[in-house]
Amino acid sequence: MVNSQFLIISDQCELAKTWVPCLSQVRIQARVVPHTLLIDPQIMSQLDIVLIDIYTPEFDIATLCRSVRNRYHSILLALTYEHDERLHLQLYKNGVDELIVKPLGMPLFLAKVEVWLRRMEHITHSSGKLQAAHFHLEPNRKRLVIENGKTMRLSTLECNLLTLLMSNQGHILEPDLIIDRVWPIYGNGDKDLLKNLIYRLRRKIEPDPSAPQYIHTVNGHGYTFRVDNVD
């Protein structure tokens, strides 16, 4: 784990900054931003983990989680003092991958973070370079090179998805299988998140995302990656 990029979004930034020195000890570069700051999705796509750290009991954390998830598609963690399971379920439905109830000790928190990062590293490093026609994918660098040498950076989940699809070129993969392989640890993705991720990846690699040539939807079955019969 080298220089993982970690963003903490908080309603009380000075308190949240107490996590930063501890994260740096395990080579995680972390910074804290206020919950009112709207971060560019291009910047967020470079992040390995986003943590929502909320201190105010009456704060609407569910709305914040949904807003972040709409712009960010890798690991989303949330810290809260709230023990109400109804809120926990609501947060998971709004895109949180793991909810961590405070208070908790720093060693346990760091252990959870390292598990998530190891899982993501396993997914993105499990394959060497992949090639299909003019697509050259480097999973360990989250980098895709296409025709004419154009290079694009992929988010962690985009890279996981494309690695899986390219590794199974021509095969139809069911949504549940994709969710299990692409989302880390407990498979906390769902079919709506998968559709959104497919949409984002198509926008990056398809000449016309509304008429995809590479990532095909097979109605009632799932998705497949093909580059045959493409000029």
For residues 90 and 35, state if they share a domain.
yes
| C-alpha span between 44 and 75 (Å, rounded) | 11
CA 176 to each of CA 1, 62, 102, 195, 201: distance values in angstroms, whole numbers, following the listed order: 29, 25, 32, 12, 18
Residue 175 lies inside a defined structural domain of this protein: yes
Structure pTM? 0.58
Q: What is the pLDDT of residue 165?
A: 92
**114 and 155 assigned to the same domain:** no
Q: Which helix (H) or strand (E) holds 218?
A: strand 215-218
The b-or-e profile of 173-211 (16+ CB within 10 A means b, else e) is: bebeebbebbbbeeebbeeebbebbbebbbebbeeebee
184 occurs within a structural domain: yes
Q: Rounded to an integer, what distance in angstroms lies between the CA atom of residue 119 and that of residue 43?
A: 22
What tens digit of pLDDT does each residue of 148-196 get?
Answer: 778 888 888 888 899 989 888 888 999 988 988 887 554 456 788 899 8
Residues 110 and 136 in one domain: no
Same domain, 91 and 18: yes
